Chain A
């Protein structure tokens, strides 16, 4: 198998090839390291590449395989992750200057579970500073660039996760989503992004931004890969008190669930307000595919989500400001202007508004689910309503225009983050500017299985996920 053929495999396909003895772990690692080195000058998706250590681990994985010892379903699969997942004693920069030299205090549960499943981490990935920016700009490590066209944003904050997976320089990546940071890079870069229900995946050892809203999840090339990674990642963790303790479904097995007869909701308000024609046509075409698979598309009328979006801003910014208050006081010069400005805004939010925004969460999710999921099984919506901006267009720094520009980008993702529901971003085509676009499939609480089944069926009927950016 040539390096190009190898890099064209999904993570689960590669794992199967390794298991069958057709590909060696070292072969896969050498191919991905070469590709990473090739794309890095153009995309700036990596922060640190650990080639020697990764090759050593790949050799060890080959020896284990030869002895018939398989670590797990991802044995030997190379991966790189957003640089906010701690590994004890190593630096996790979190895209910041402030944490550039601090050794991490522990290993993230998500990394430990991927290690146990056999995945081999070869690098850490660029990200927005402290995961608090939806475009992928980073003023400390350099802006991350879109694999489909380097003039365009990757989306953030999991910027390197999106662009390296899209560029076939990474088989899968951890991202994190507080207000859209998995789904936005997924749509802008043309990858799959899985944000599971609040509590489904442990956040222990992942950099906190907003304790009430942070979620850990993967960006992958296929829905099948997302199911495999979620199966590895999900489940109770004594180190994360918010983690659900119930049984975790087999998400890989769930891919085979029938989609015929599923009711797919098309929202009649909020999600399509002011949407571009290019977005509308991609979304309608994706609904046609779902109809052809036997799903029934029904109009649904969700509650207005503007208040949920505002409540998200109050919660996220208050909690982020609390986490950063000491450094805002003692090291303000070490933040980029944009992040410092946004964090400092949180110091002015009245405490009663923060508490009300949390009090509102229960009634809000009840009202949304009653209105939507009484009519459908899955809500289908765009991730973004307009064409991908360029890096220059969205370079707003800390200017007065900043909040309007950033708020517009997260308008369709923030409310779902606030509601705590699961959402799966799946590529559905290309915009007139040649950049990819995704749908987000939004489900009932803890019903990731239906989203994955529907997304997988969609990918079996289409080839958007197999398109590769020009090199």
Chain B
């Protein structure tokens, strides 16, 4: 099972970006990020190895036809 997003990780990534960690309220940001990742994880896991971002445009054109 994927480990929880830790607030210290959020703070560290903000530091890497040169942004003061308090800008993002690390606790709340970690909870939010974890919710988004968990919400999408099953769909991400269902992707085929070959799926790529550009397929979206192809799919829209397929719908147009």
Contacts and interface: CB of A to CB of B under 8 A. Distances in A.
A197 to B, nearest CB: 7
B53 A403 contact: no
A138 interface: no
Given A341-B25, A348-B14, A365-B63, A310 B51 contact: no
A329 B18 contact: yes
Given A310-B40, A362-B58, A325 B17 contact: yes
B64 interface: yes
B39 A362 contact: no
Contacts of B35: 310
Interface string A369-413: 100000000000000000000000000001010110000000000
25 contacts: A198-B60, A307-B39, A308-B43, A310-B38, A328-B19, A329-B18, A340-B23, A341-B23, A341-B29, A344-B14, A347-B14, A348-B30, A349-B33, A356-B40, A359-B47, A359-B53, A360-B43, A362-B58, A365-B56, A366-B62, A398-B25, A402-B28, A403-B28, A420-B60, A445-B63
Given A308-B43, A364-B43, A365-B63, 13 more contacts: A344-B14, A344-B19, A348-B14, A348-B30, A349-B36, A360-B43, A361-B55, A361-B59, A362-B58, A363-B48, A366-B62, A420-B60, A446-B63
A325 B24 CA distance: 13
B1 interface: no
A348 B24 contact: yes
Interface in A295-316: 306-311, 313-314
A206 to B, nearest CB: 20
Nearest to A398: B25
B32 to A, nearest CB: 5
A243 to B, nearest CB: 12
B53 A348 contact: no
Interface residues of B, number: 42
B51 A332 contact: no
Nearest to B10: A348
A199 interface: yes
A345 interface: yes
Interface residues of A, number: 46
Contacts, number: 130
A310 to B, nearest CB: 3
- Which of A311, A369, A403 has the most B CB atoms < 10 Å from its CB? A403
B60 A332 contact: no
Contact of A348 (B9, B38, B48): B9
A446 B57 CA distance: 12
Contacts of A329: 17-19
Contacts of B60: 197-199, 365, 420, 445-446
Given A328-B23, A341-B29, A344-B19, A355 B14 contact: no
Contacts of B13: 347-348
Contacts of A363: 46-48, 51, 55
B51 A362 contact: yes
A420 B43 CA distance: 18
A168 interface: no
B41 to A, nearest CB: 8
A311 B43 contact: yes
A465 interface: no
Contact of B23 (A197, A311, A344, A403): A344
B45 to A, nearest CB: 9
A313 B29 contact: no
